[in-house]
Amino acid sequence: MNIPFHDRSDAGRQLASRLSHYANRTDLLVLALPRGGVPVAFEVARAIHAPLDLFIVRKVGVPGHEELAMGAIASGGVQVVNEEITRRLRIQPDLFNRMAEQELQELKRRELAYRGQRPAPDTAGRTIILVDDGIATGSTMKAAISALRKQSPERILVGTPVIAADTFEEMLPLVDELVAVITPEFFSAVGQWYEHFPQTGDDEVKTLLKQARVEFRKDKPGGLKPG
């Protein structure tokens, strides 16, 4: 099998070439889903001259079936409940709240580790590109989209190097635009499409965010200043 991406940086550059029509827009903000989405989003933001930040989302899984999301929490204090799942499984609000509180602790840890005391970016009225390094079932990205909607952006795009073909079709109605480099029919894991796919560490995330604040944001209207 021909492997299309050398690593996340290469994948980000390939994805950026498909987003070039968004370059230099003053309302644009690239938001990476950490951790693996950050190196990809860094290359996208660099290529289209957009500010880069994070959108941290944590699925709230059903106890015993954690991959099944009964909701999500995200950056900015956003909470989303999957009414269909909670109703079908008769999940009571107190159980959801307990599980959400557990995920909130990890979200807060990541917020502090990656962003420090800087506030989350204002997404209202802006064009947002959500970026991850690959999308299999789409549950995390769908949660991110739902959470971001509550912050009233003007438009939401999803950009990813690789997404399963059936997930691509499922996700199309949820966003204003969905951009991918490849959409394979047979998909077992994101890492199969990369020659090198090491885990992205906290230090790499922090380094790339700091570099982006210095290089990308300049004094653009709507951009966040270096700090």
Look at residue 62 and tell me whether its pLDDT is greater than 60.
yes
The predicted pLDDT at position 217 comes to: 55
Would the CA dihedral through 5, 193, 72, 203 be positive or negative? negative
Final residue belonging to a domain, choices 94, 114, 134: 114
> Domain containing 203: what range?
8-56+123-212
Return phi, psi of residue 143, to 5°. Answer: -65, -40
pLDDT tens digits for range 159-176: 999 999 999 999 999 999
User: Does 136 lie in the same domain as 107?
Assistant: no
Same domain as 98, residue 129: no
Q: How many structural domains compose the chain? A: 2
Q: What mean pLDDT value characterizes the chain?
A: 90
Which of 114, 149, 183 is the last residue before a domain boundary?
114
pLDDT tens-place string over residues 73-92: 887 778 888 888 899 999 99
pTM for the full model?
0.86
Do 28 and 99 reside in the same domain of the chain?
Answer: no
Regarding whether 69 and 37 lie in a shared domain, the answer is no
Q: Which two tokens stand for residue 18?
A: 């498909």
Q: Answer yes or no: do 110 and 186 share one domain.
A: no
**CATH code (residue 198):** 3.40.50.2020
